[in-house]
Amino acid sequence: MSRPVAIIALAAVGIASLHVHLSSAAFTAAPATGGTTLTIDQLSNHFSVTSGTDLQLGTTTPIATGDLSTLALAFGTVPKAQAFAAVFTVRNVGAQAATAQLTLSGVPQIASAVFASSGSTTAALAAGASTTVTVTTSSRVAGRGAGTLRLAVAGASWMYRDYPLTIAEAPEAPASLTATAAPAGRIHLVWAASATTTNLAGYAVYRAVGAGAYVRLNGTLATGTSYDDTSTVDGTAYTYKVEAVSSDAQSLASLDSPTASATADATAPTISVTYVDNKSPTQDQVVVTASAGASVSGTVNGNAFSGTGSFTANVGDHASGSGTGSATATDAAGNSTTVSFPWSAKK
């Protein structure tokens, strides 16, 4: 901790005749040397500091401990960006108005440290007045940080105390997650990127395995914002969540994303097509029988047709001839089945 520097006011004695060796004790007392009185100014002449009511989240441990000389700030693990409104209190103990100033160093996980009375890093305090210090953590920077928060008298920046500050800031959780059935039974997951941009290693994907229990699916963190679950059983419903993870040696995980669910679909749709020759001048038709909800498209003798599920479609007035048409049915998961069918027309 840095020691506050003191102003030395000399009594009306010839300065040239004064030869005093100043040790560190000169900054904590008001000694007299011969007939000369040294008046010492120090931070404690202006301010006192008391711990606030904010606790490390999920514990009964105060964030701030100590007093003006010994204050230490330990935020513990912070699971998401938030404000701590009463970290510690600064009181003007002098007889005159004084302006307190805060300076944060070396802790990018802290977005701001300000006085509640002013909303800024300086606060003008009348004699006897006090204000709390509010600390807001960053939504963009994760990881474990250590630095200092300096309390000084504004305009006399050499009169200060540096207080150690530590924090373990988890990344911000993805704000959304969607799960969609994909071909061959895959379930495709897509999530919103974490707001954290510094010290973010990637994302851990979890699948529910019981009431409140989840198993992690990806051994290596996903660096993008999507993932395909291929270890599924056809027709089974699955629920997922995602966490953002920091790049620390001892990583920190975010809160959970919203959950999302989907049912695996590995079954291809069925389809059959019958060509109907209605003779000229009536249009010929195809009669399609396909799985409910399947999207069907096909061609026959140069004519295209499409529809959903089972339907009948006109395919033109064909002259005499024969050949082969084709059609594909695709379900909502993207599974598809293609068939060929014969056609024959006479005048």
Write the pLDDT tens digit of every residue in 52-74: 999 999 999 999 999 999 999 99
324 occurs within a structural domain: yes
* Mean pLDDT score, 185-205: 98
Residue where one domain finishes, among candidates 139, 169, 199 = 169
pLDDT band with cut points at 50, 70 and 90 for residue 6 = very low
Query: What does pTM read for this prediction?
Result: 0.82
Co-location of 107 and 53 in the same domain: yes
Co-location of 319 and 253 in the same domain: no
Co-location of 125 and 59 in the same domain: yes
Full DSSP string of 123-151: EEE-TT-EEEEEEEE-SSB-EEEEEEEEE
Residue where one domain finishes, among candidates 236, 263, 290 = 263
Note the pLDDT of residue 17. 34
Note the pLDDT of residue 34. 55
Residue where one domain finishes, among candidates 263, 296, 330 = 263
325 occurs within a structural domain: yes
Q: Which amino acid is at 237?
A: A
* Mean pLDDT score, 31-49: 74
Note the pLDDT of residue 317. 83
Mean pLDDT score across all residues of the chain: 90
CATH number at residue 182: 2.60.40.10
**Residue-wise burial string across 271-298, b where 16 or more C-beta atoms lie within 10 A, e elsewhere:** bebebebeeeeeebbbebebbeebbbeb
> Does the structure show a pLDDT above 50 at 161?
yes
Co-location of 163 and 191 in the same domain: no
Q: Exposure of 315 by Cβ count < 10 A (0-12 exposed, 13-18 middle, 19+ buried)?
A: buried
* Mean pLDDT score, 284-307: 97
Co-location of 62 and 123 in the same domain: yes
Give the list of residues 6+ apart from residue 290 with CB closer than 8 angstroms, or none.
269, 270, 271, 272, 296, 309, 310, 329
> Does the structure show a pLDDT above 80 at 9?
no
Co-location of 11 and 51 in the same domain: no
What residue numbers bound the domain in which 70 lies?
45-169
Note the pLDDT of residue 1. 45
For 97, how many CA atoms within 13 A lie in the half-sphere containing its CB?
5
Co-location of 15 and 59 in the same domain: no
Co-location of 131 and 242 in the same domain: no
Note the pLDDT of residue 227. 98
Co-location of 50 and 152 in the same domain: yes
Note the pLDDT of residue 36. 59
* Mean pLDDT score, 153-165: 94
Co-location of 256 and 281 in the same domain: no
Note the pLDDT of residue 38. 61
The SS3 assignment for 33 reads strand
Note the pLDDT of residue 202. 98
Write the pLDDT tens digit of every residue in 226-264: 999 999 999 999 999 999 999 999 999 999 999 999 999
Considering its fold, how many domains does the chain have in total? 4
